Amino acid sequence: MASQRKRSKKEEITDSYEIQCSDEQPSDTSSREDARESNLKKFIGAHVSISGGIWKAVDSSVAMGGHAFALFLGSQRSWTRPALTSAAADAFKKNCTKHGFDALHILPHGSYLMNCGSPKEDVFCKSQAMLVDELSRCSALGLKLFNFHPGASIDSSPEKCMEKIAQAINHAHQQTPAVITVLENMSGQGSTIGGQFSELKTIIDRVRDKTRVGVCLDTCHAFAAGYDISPPGGVKNMLDEFHCAVGMNYLKAIHLNDSKARALSMLNK
Q: Which stretch binds Zn ion (CB under 5 A): 36-44, 92-100, 182-190, 258-266?
A: 182-190
- Give the Å distances, CA to CA, from 207 to 71, 129, 182, 252: 25, 17, 12, 16
- In the bound complex, what is the minimum distance in angstroms from residue 146's beta carbon to Zn ion? 12
Judged by CB, which is closer to Zn ion: 107, or 172?
107
Residue type, 31: S
Q: Where are the alpha helices (DSSP H) in 4-98?
A: 9-17, 29-37, 56-63, 86-98
- In the bound complex, what is the minimum distance in angstroms from residue 28's beta carbon to Zn ion? 32
- In the bound complex, what is the minimum distance in angstroms from residue 149's beta carbon to Zn ion? 6
Q: Which stretch binds Zn ion (CB under 5 A): 96-104, 117-125, 183-191, 232-240?
A: 183-191
Sheet holding 180-184, edge to edge: 69-72, 106-109, 145-148, 180-184, 213-218, 251-255
Q: Which stretch binds Zn ion (CB under 5 A): 99-107, 123-131, 177-185, 241-249?
A: 177-185
Q: Indicate the helix (H) or strand (E) that contains 146.
A: strand 145-148
- In the bound complex, what is the minimum distance in angstroms from residue 3's beta carbon to Zn ion? 36
For Zn ion (CB under 5 A), the number of binding residues is 1
**DSSP secondary structure letter of residue 152:** B
3-state secondary structure of 212: helix
In degrees, to the nearest 5, what angle opens at C-alpha 62 toward C-alphas 60 and 65? 115
- In the bound complex, what is the minimum distance in angstroms from residue 109's beta carbon to Zn ion? 6
Judged by CB, which is closer to Zn ion: 153, or 219?
219
Residues 184-203, interacting with Zn ion (CB under 5 A): 184
Judged by CB, which is closer to Zn ion: 95, or 118?
118
Q: How far is CA 66 from the centre of its chain?
A: 16
Judged by CB, which is closer to Zn ion: 12, or 184?
184
Q: Which residues bind Zn ion (CB under 5 A)?
A: 184
